[in-house]
Amino acid sequence: MRWEKDDYSIDTSADLLSLDVIHGYLSRSYWAEGRSREVIAASLQHSVNFGVYFLDQQVGFARIVTDYATFYWLCDVFILEEYRGRKLGKWLIECVTNYPDLQGLLGILATRDAHGLYEKYGFSVASNPRKFMWTRKPA
């Protein structure tokens, strides 16, 4: 699926993604710091990916993990620093939350500092965060 606005586009085509851009940003982000290129490549293969592009250059990204029946997890969202302030993040989340395959599903995400952005698109803080748990098994 593709959306266009001026010289920008958002596209779910895997063929357009730049692993260099995605790994370059995620490996220095607070939530994925140090994540290997191989792990990022594998995560792309098993997700619905939204690339944000200025002309042909990737400038942003969001990833959806879903079972297409009950829930989706929105993760790895970013706009490169030099492209911020152009409302691309808002447009990206609007495209993600309106994506046809996600309608009627429970959307979840984790953020340290972007609550205001996500609240504009229907997300809210969990009413009972003690219900949520996680684990990570050693590799």
Helix H or strand E segment including 10: strand 8-11
The reported pLDDT for the residue numbered 139 is 66
Tell me which residue range forms the domain holding 105. 2-131
Sheet holding 57-66, edge to edge: 2-5, 8-11, 48-54, 57-66, 71-79, 106-109
- Is residue 100 one of the residues assigned to a domain? yes
- Is residue 102 one of the residues assigned to a domain? yes
The better pLDDT of the pair 106, 138 is held by: 106
The reported pLDDT for the residue numbered 126 is 81
Structure pTM?
0.92
Can you read off the two tokens belonging to residue 36?
């290997």
The reported pLDDT for the residue numbered 122 is 86
Total domains present in the chain: 1
Q: What is the CATH number of the domain that holds 121?
A: 3.40.630.30
- Is residue 139 one of the residues assigned to a domain? no
Return the number of other C-beta atoms located less than 10 Å from residue 80's C-beta: 17
Mean pLDDT along residues 103-117 = 90
- Is residue 25 one of the residues assigned to a domain? yes
- Is residue 137 one of the residues assigned to a domain? no
Mean pLDDT along residues 77-103 = 96
Query: What amino acid is encoded at 103 in this protein?
Result: Q
- Is residue 39 one of the residues assigned to a domain? yes
Mean pLDDT along residues 58-80 = 97
- Is residue 123 one of the residues assigned to a domain? yes
Flag whether pLDDT at 21 surpasses 80: yes
Query: What amino acid is encoded at 122 in this protein?
Result: G
- Is residue 138 one of the residues assigned to a domain? no
The better pLDDT of the pair 132, 19 is held by: 19
Flag whether pLDDT at 124 surpasses 90: no
